[in-house]
Amino acid sequence: MATIAKTIVATGATSGLGFELVKQLLAQTQPYKFILGARDTKTAQAAFDGLKYDGSKHSLTIFPLELSNLKTVKTFSQQTLDKLGQDKIDYLLLNAAISKNAEQPGPFGSKWKYLEEDLKGGSKTERSVYASTKFVQLLGAHWWHRQLKDKCQVVAVSPGLIPGTNLARNSGQAKEFVNHPDAKSVPEGAQSIYRAFTRDDIPEDPEQIFLTSWGEWWPKDVYGLTLDKALQDKWSPSKEEIEKEEGLTS
């Protein structure tokens, strides 16, 4: 009997950790259907074609997507739904990041890129915005976990310190990260993400959703501040609020 293909919809999968994860999955005997978003679809398609994966087993569709432009996000979402038809999504991977200093403007002038003063493009804060944005993302993961209770499992994953992704290229500390004792390779980081697809030991505590790069469920005291539901709500504006702010609704 043929193995049923699993469907993965992913952002941030055309380079770095995301690309490596898809590469590893394309080498498996388990068939996959990928729907990916990319800024440059032609370059992304060429990169995946270069893997010479088994097209009779796996399928891969790439649609245009610029995550900092809500119009393309909406278009990508609709194209994905059209492509899926009545099929379900087995895994939704929200993986993407940029590493820029806060004195630089946010792309497309969107205030939704950075919500507070220190995180807004052009704020010129001396503090690192990377850690702050990770904090906000974890707030969002908890918010989605609350909204999607009993419908799907939400897991936040730390892939570890991966200098090979070049995410630290704007920080001035790239060389230091390479020699850090906790540094991991890109393939190891991809495996950390893959664990979230395969783990069946989800803690009973609904607030314990953070999987570390060591394969452990992080205790809540490590990220206790993100458990504040008021903060989760504040940093998770509704679809209607975002679309109105971006001028996509009247």
Residues in contact with 23: Cβ distance below 8 Å, sequence separation at least 6, in sequence order: 51, 190
Give yes or no: 42 in active site. no
Of 130, 184, 194, 223, the active-site residue reads: 130
In terms of phi and psi (left: phi > 0; alpha: psi -120 to 50; beta: otherwise), the region of 113 is alpha
Q: Among candidates 90, 224, 98, which has minimal Cα distance to 171? A: 98
Cα–Cα distance for residue pair 177/169, rounded to 1 Å: 10
Pairing between β-strand 156-157 and β-strand 210-211 as defined by DSSP bridges: parallel
Question: Token match 């996509």: residue?
Answer: 248
Of 237, 70, 232, the C-alpha closest to 145 is 232
User: Is 134 marked active-site?
Assistant: yes
| Residue closest to 113 by CA, chosen among 201, 235, 218, 213 | 235
Catalytic residue among 6, 57, 83, 134: 134
Beta partners for residue 33, in sequence order? 7, 59
Q: Which residues are catalytic?
A: 130, 134
